[in-house]
Chain A
Amino acid sequence: AQSVTQPDIHITVSEGASLELRCNYSYGATPYLFWYVQSPGQGLQLLLKYFSGDTLVQGIKGFEAEFKRSQSSFNLRKPSVHWSDAAEYFCAVGAPFSNDYKLSFGAGTTVTVRA
């Protein structure tokens, strides 16, 4: 069974500073990996995903993530944070070649952006 750990519950970052959110997964092989963002009172929006190939993945809103097999990690980064990036971020994992397409989510990291 797959699982995801997001070690940081809450991160505060200054506007314009860089941001890195950590994600570690547990799976017997290389899983499919996702990052979602949830603004207050909203549903989840996909930021980016990794299936295979280039381990540095570009997403929407200026985010990128890097898959590191040796560390079982898929950390999310943004070089310069905007106030609108304040939200909750979820890492998720799915099993390749699955016939049920279930996603397992981490507990989430809340990002606060200070002026």
Chain B
Amino acid sequence: AQKVTQAQTEISVVEKEDVTLDCVYETRDTTYYLFWYKQPPSGELVFLIRRNSFDEQNEISGRYSWNFQKSTSSFNFTITASQVVDSAVYFCALSEAATGTASKLTFGTGTRLQVTL
């Protein structure tokens, strides 16, 4: 069975601080996908990144970066120089990649990030 754990329920930082959101996952599959989504107060889940299990290269997109470590089953997300607009709930999710079956996303419980001035 798949499981995603986001141990940090809530994080508060002051603007311009760096912040890392942790994600640990469990799966028996060798092929799977990992995702991060942002959920602002409006409710819509905003896609941030998708990474497959064979690609452990870290990725950077502007102020966002992701660190995928298969050895520790972790897929952590770092925001550099945080801004107030980054305030939201962030979800890590896992999808097994069996061809032809439903791409069910298993979500963690989310980390609420509050960035203040």
Say whether A associates with B. no
**Interface on B for A, CB 8 Å cutoff?**
none
Partner-B contacts on A (CB < 8 A): none
